[in-house]
Structure 1
Amino acid sequence: MLLLAMAVIVFFLVYQRRLLAQQEQLQQIKIEQQKALLEASLQTQENERRRIAKDLHDEVGANLSTINLFAKQIEKFVERESKAGKMVGKTKDLIATTITSVRTISKDLLPATLDRFGLVEAAKELCDRINQADAVLVNFEHQVTEERLSQPQELALFRIIQELFNNTLKHAQATQVNLFIHYTPKSLKIIFKDNGVGFDANALMQSKESTKGLGLKNLESRAQVLGASLNYTSPPEGGTQVNILSNTA
Structure 2
Amino acid sequence: MSPKAISESEIVATAIFSCVSFLLMGLVLILFFYFSRKKITQKELEKRDLEIQYQKEQLHAIIVTQEEERKRIAQDLHDDISSKLNIVSLNTHLLSASNLTEAETKEITGNIISLTTKALENSRKIAHNLLPPVFEKFGLSAGVQELCAEFETSKLVKVHYKNTVDFDDNDIDRQLHVFRILQEFMNNSIRHGKASEIKISFSEENGIVTCNYEDNGIGFDSKSDENQKGLGMKNIDSRISFLKGTIQISSEINKGFAANFTF
Which runs of 4 or more aligned residues in structure 1 lie more than 6 Å from their structure 2 counterparts after TM superposition? Answer: 50-55, 87-95
**Matched ranges for 1:20-99 at <5 A:** 20-21=40-41, 23-25=43-45, 27-28=47-48, 31-32=51-52, 34-35=54-55, 38-39=58-59, 42=62, 56=77, 60=81, 67=88, 77-78=102-103, 99=120
Equivalence map 1:228-243=2 (5 Å): 228-235=245-252, 237-243=254-260
Residue 208 (structure 1) shift:
5.3
1:32-59 deviation line (CA, Å, top 9, x unaligned): 5743773586378559858986995xx9
TM-score relative to the length of structure 1? 0.70
* Structure 1 segment 45-194 matched on structure 2, within 5 A: 56=77, 60=81, 67=88, 77-78=102-103, 99-148=120-169, 150-183=171-204, 186-194=207-215
| Counterpart for residue 98 of structure 2 | none
Percentage of identical aligned residues: 25
Asked if 1 retains the 8 angstrom alpha-carbon contact of 2:139 and 2:169, the reply is yes
TM-score (norm 2): 0.67
Gaps of at least 5 residues in structure 2 are 1-19, 96-100
Aligned to 1:221: 238
Task: Indicate conservation of the 8 Å contact 2:139/2:167, yes or no.
Answer: no
Q: CA deviation at 1:7?
A: 2.7
Per the alignment, in what secondary structure is the counterpart of residue 144 of structure 1?
coil
Describe the SS at the equivalent of 1:145.
Answer: coil
Q: Is the contact made by 1:231 and 1:242 (CA closer than 8 Å) also made in structure 2? A: yes
- Relative distance call for 1:173 and 1:48 in structure 2 (3 A) is closer
Q: Point out the structure with max Rg over C-alpha.
A: 2
CA RMSD across the alignment: 4.3
Cα gap change, 1:23 to 1:218, in 2 (>3 Å)? same
Kept in 2, the 8 Å contact 1:197–1:238? The answer is yes
Give the number of aligned pairs: 233
User: Given residue 36 of structure 2, which amino acid in structure 1 is its aligned partner?
Assistant: Q
Check conservation: 1:178, 1:193, Cα contact below 8 A: yes
Distance 2:254 2:68 in 1: 40
Please list the CA deviations of residues 125-179 of structure 1 after superposition, one character each: whole Å capped at 9, or x if unmatched.
2111111222211111111125347344212211111111111111111111111
* Unpaired segments ≥5 residues, structure 1: none
Distance 1:77 1:230 in 2: 65
Aligned partner of 1:13 in structure 2 is 33
Change (3 A) 1:18 1:115: farther
* Cα 1:45/1:234, change in 2 over 3 Å: closer
